[in-house]
Amino acid sequence: MWEFSAMPYDPRPANAARLKMFHLIADKIERDPAWLQTGLDNIARWIANGSTQQDKLREWERMILAARDSEEGMEVLLKALREDSDRAEFFRNFAPFAGVLTNTERRPLILECSFSH
């Protein structure tokens, strides 16, 4: 009989691909800060649609506005997107940057994740 618990699962490849995705997002924002607006637009839409994570979205909103207004704020945002820590990973679970990367930019990461387990 097949047992789900007997199947080995290593989340590291998926987590590594996810972190690479956020590095790509950070790189793209760093090259062109106009992408910050995508995050602000997503936050506004998600809050208007009744997101249950409004406190986390508001934290992202504050960070994005600070990034738009100063180099120091941009450094903080880029660190949040690139840092490899449990706290940063938890925070990125609520990242509002859907739409920053194109399907073409995301595809290699999706394939990397799907072939790793």
pLDDT per residue as tens digits for the range 13-55: 457 888 999 999 999 999 999 999 999 999 999 999 999 999 9
pLDDT tier, 106 (very low <50, low <70, confident <90, very high otherwise): confident
List CB contacts of 19: < 8 A, sequence separation 6 or more: 82, 84, 89
Q: Is the Cβ–Cβ distance between 113 and 10 less than 8 Å? A: no
Query: What pLDDT sits at residue 24?
Result: 95
pLDDT tier, 9 (very low <50, low <70, confident <90, very high otherwise): very low
pTM: 0.80
- Rounded-to-integer distance, Cα 33 and Cα 53, Å: 25
